[in-house]
Structure 1
Amino acid sequence: MAFFDLPPEQLETYRPELATPPDLADFWNSTIAEARAFDLDVALVPVASGLTAIDVYDVTFSGFGGHRIKGWFLRPTGDAVVPAVVEYIGYGGGRGAPHERLAWAAAGWGHLVMDNRGQGSTWGVGGATPDPAPGGQGVPGFMTRGIADPHEHFYRRLFTDGVRAVDAVRTIPGVDPARVAVAGGSQGGAVTLAVAGLVPDLVAAMPDVPFLSHIDRALTLTDAYPYRELADYLRTHRGAEEGVRRTMSYFDVAGLARGATAPALFSVALMDLTCPPSTVYAAYNHYGHPDGSAIDVYRFNGHEGGEALRWARHREFLAGVLGGSN
C-alpha cells in the first residue's frame, strides 16, 4: 500500500475544524453523572492462573446503565502499592485470557483489562460482557447501533464503561489512585482518548492508531471497515447522512480529547487504511495537553502500527512522566 493521505509535512500540522455539537460537554457530563449514580460495586475474584509472581483477578464493575462489565486485573504478587494501567481492547475483541497480557504486572504495575460489552466474537479468545441495550436498525457491526440518536448509540455505552473502569481500578486495594494511566489501540485507542478527555486527573494516555477520530473525513477517505459500516448504512438509508454525522459527532474523539489534561503518547501508521493518518493527526493536534505529549510515526506500516514495539515505548514514556519510577 502506497501513501494515500496527506504528505507528512502537512500531516504534522493538520488541525482541521471539527464538527463538534454545541451540547457536547452537557451530553457527556450528564452521561457520566447518570452512570456514577449506580453503585460501582467492584467485585474481585482470585483466579488460579498458575502464575507464581503475578496475582490474577476476575473483576466485575458497574458501567453504563449499571450494566455489569467484566475484566481482568493483574498485579505483582505482594503488598506494595502500585500504579495502574487501564487497557481498552480493539474492535470486535474481548478481554481474552489473562496470561496474554503479563508485561505490565511483570514490570511492577497493576493492569486492568476492560472487556468490550457485546464484542469478543471476532478475534482472540473471546469476551464475557453482554450489551443488554437495544440498538435499533443497523448494519452488521457496532458503528450503526443506535445511529438514530446519540443517547442510544453503542459508543455512548462503551466510552462510559471506560470511564467507570478508571473509577473501578482506583478502588482496588494496593492501587495508587493518583497514578493511573490509560492505553489501547484502534477502538481501544478511541476509548483511551475519550476517557482522557472525560477524566481530569490521569497521569498519562497512550492511544495507538486511534479509531473514531475526525469521523467526517474518515467516512469518505477510506473504504475499510469499520468506517465502511456507516457508508453501508447510508447506501440503504438514503438521505440519512446529516443525522448520521450528527450522531457520530458526539463520539468523535478528536473533539473529546481537547479536554484532556494528561500527557499523551500517540502512534500513527502512514499506510493505515483503517484509521487514516490524517484522522490520527487531527486528534493529536487538537489534544488538550500538548506539553509533554508525543507521536511515534510508522511510515511503512498499516493498521498494525508498531505492534509489540509499543509496550517498550509506553513503559519508557510512563517512566518519564513519573520521574523514572513506578
Structure 2
Amino acid sequence: MASFVHDFPFDPAHGWTSDRLSAAPAPLAPDDFASFWRARHEEARQVATDPELGPAEGERDGARIHGVTFTSVGGVRLGGWFALPAEGPTEYGFVIGHGYGGRLEPGPDLPLPLPRAAAILPCVRGMGSRGLTAGIPDTADEHVLHGIASRDTYVIGGCVADLWCAASALRELVPELAPDAGGPPLGYLGESFGGGLGALALPWDDRFGAAQLTVPTFGNHPLRLTLPCTGSGESVRAYHRQHPEVTEVLRYFDAATAATRLELPTLVAAALFDPAVPPPGQFAVHNALAGPHDLHVMSAGHFEHPGLDTEKEELRAARRRFFYEHLVGGSG
C-alpha cells in the first residue's frame, strides 16, 4: 500500500492493500447494457465526419503536428490535433484520449509508442480549447454532471461517440490505414478521463487492435460513490447525495462493467495512491478485462512525488513493448 506525505483530508489509497486491489470487482451490467452501447456505436459509425486537416503547427518527436476538425454525433463539430510522420509513410494509427483537464495542445501525449505512426488527438465535446461546445460546461466538475439525469442525455455517452468519430476521421485522413488498403488495426491511448472513455468505447469497435489505459476513471461507480476524491467523482458523489436515483444511469457508464466485454489486448497502468481517481476503481477496470491484459502498477497517479520521472519513463517503455507485441508482432 503506497504512502506519501500529503495534505488531503482523506487517504488517497483508501486503505486498500495490493491484495485487496487485485480483487476489486466490476458491478453487474444492466440487462440491456450491450444493446445500449451497440446502438450508440452504430449511430456514430453512420456519421459523415468530414475531417479537415489544418496547416502544420510544428514538429516534435518525429511527428508533424496539424490542427484537425471533424464532425461527431449530433452534428457537433470538434477539433484537436493530428500527428503524421515527419518523414516516410504512415504504417500505424492511434486515437489518443485526454484527461479531464481537457487538451490545450498535444502536450505530453507524444511521443507515439510506435514509429511511422499517425494519431488523432481529439478534444471531446465540451473539453479543451478545440472541443468547446455551446451548452456544455467546460470545467470537469460541471461537465461530468451534464445531462446525467438520463442515460440518453448524459454527456459521457457523447464523449465516447466522439472517440468513435475520431477513429473514422483518422482513417479518412490516412486512407492507407483502412483495412481494404491493408492497414493494421488502430491503437488507443487514454489517461484518466480518456482511460475511462476508452474502456467504454472499445468493446464495441472492431477497428482497434490494442489499447493502453492509464489510471482509468469511471470504474465501479457504486464503490466510487463511497470514496472521497479531488476529481470529477466528487461532483458525482455530491449529486448522488441529492439524487440517489442517478445510480441507475451510472450503471450504463461504468468502465469496469464495460471492461468485462473488452476482449482486445489491453495494458492498464493503475496507481496505488491517487487523490483524483480512487485506486480501487482503476484496478476494477483491469481485473474485469475479458481479453489478454497486462497490469503496470505505479506508486501514485495525479500526484507529484519523488521518482515520478522514472515511473513515467518506465510506463513509456512498457507501452512501447506492449504495442510492438500486439500491433507489430515483435518485442520492440
Same fold? TM cut 0.5: yes
Deviations 1:60-92 (A, max 9, x none): 122121211212111213451310121100003
* 1:138-287 to 2 correspondences below 5 Å: 140-173=141-174, 175-177=176-178, 178-235=184-241, 237=242, 240-242=243-245, 244-287=246-289
Residue in structure 2 matched with residue 82 of structure 1 by the alignment = 91
Cα 1:196–1:234, aligned 2, differ >3 Å: closer, same or farther?
closer
The alignment covers a number of residue pairs equal to: 309
Residue in structure 1 matched with residue 316 of structure 2 by the alignment = 311
Cα 1:41–1:241, aligned 2, differ >3 Å: closer, same or farther?
same
Deviations 1:231-282 (A, max 9, x none): 22244x3xx212x111111111111222223101101111113222221221
| Secondary structure in structure 1 of the residue aligned to 2:116 | coil
Cα 1:234–1:173, aligned 2, differ >3 Å: closer, same or farther?
closer
Percent of aligned pairs sharing the same letter: 25
Q: Is the 8 A contact 1:182 1:204 kept in 2?
A: yes
Q: Is the 8 A contact 1:224 1:273 kept in 2?
A: yes
| Secondary structure in structure 2 of the residue aligned to 1:13 | coil
Instruction: Name the amino acid aligned to 1:286.
Output: A
Instruction: Name the amino acid aligned to 2:143.
Output: F
Residue in structure 2 matched with residue 8 of structure 1 by the alignment = 18
> Which of 52, 58, 70 does residue 67 from structure 2 map onto?
58
Structure 1 distance, partners of 2:258, 2:209, is 17
Note the C-alpha offset of 1:102.
4.2
TM-score (ref. length: structure 1) = 0.85
> Which of 104, 107, 117 does residue 115 from structure 2 map onto?
107
Q: Is the 8 A contact 2:125 2:136 kept in 1?
A: no
Cα 1:134–1:97, aligned 2, differ >3 Å: closer, same or farther?
closer
Instruction: Name the amino acid aligned to 2:99.
Output: G
Q: Is the 8 A contact 2:113 2:316 kept in 1?
A: no
Deviations 1:145-170 (A, max 9, x none): 11111111110110110111122212
Structure 1 distance, partners of 2:331, 2:117, is 11
Cα 1:153–1:99, aligned 2, differ >3 Å: closer, same or farther?
closer
Structure 2 distance, partners of 1:50, 1:208, is 25
Deviations 1:37-78 (A, max 9, x none): 331212122324266953322221221212112121112134
Q: Which runs of 5+ in 1 are unaligned?
A: 121-126
Cα 1:11–1:234, aligned 2, differ >3 Å: closer, same or farther?
closer
Residue in structure 2 matched with residue 41 of structure 1 by the alignment = 50
Q: Is the 8 A contact 2:21 2:280 kept in 1?
A: yes
Structure 2 distance, partners of 1:47, 1:83, is 20
Cα 1:72–1:7, aligned 2, differ >3 Å: closer, same or farther?
same
Q: Is the 8 A contact 2:14 2:227 kept in 1?
A: no
Residue in structure 1 matched with residue 8 of structure 2 by the alignment = none
TM-score (ref. length: structure 2) = 0.84
Structure 2 distance, partners of 1:79, 1:43, is 21
Q: Is the 8 A contact 1:193 1:253 kept in 2?
A: yes
Note the C-alpha offset of 1:227.
0.8
| Secondary structure in structure 2 of the residue aligned to 1:92 | coil
Instruction: Name the amino acid aligned to 2:165.
Output: R
Instruction: Name the amino acid aligned to 2:20.
Output: Q
Structure 1 distance, partners of 2:169, 2:17, is 42
Note the C-alpha offset of 1:107.
3.1
| Secondary structure in structure 1 of the residue aligned to 2:185 | strand
Residue in structure 2 matched with residue 288 of structure 1 by the alignment = 290
Q: Is the 8 A contact 1:70 1:129 kept in 2?
A: yes
Structure 1 distance, partners of 2:121, 2:216, is 17
Tell me whether 1:23 sits opposite 2:32 in the alignment. yes
| Secondary structure in structure 2 of the residue aligned to 1:146 | coil
| Secondary structure in structure 2 of the residue aligned to 1:104 | coil
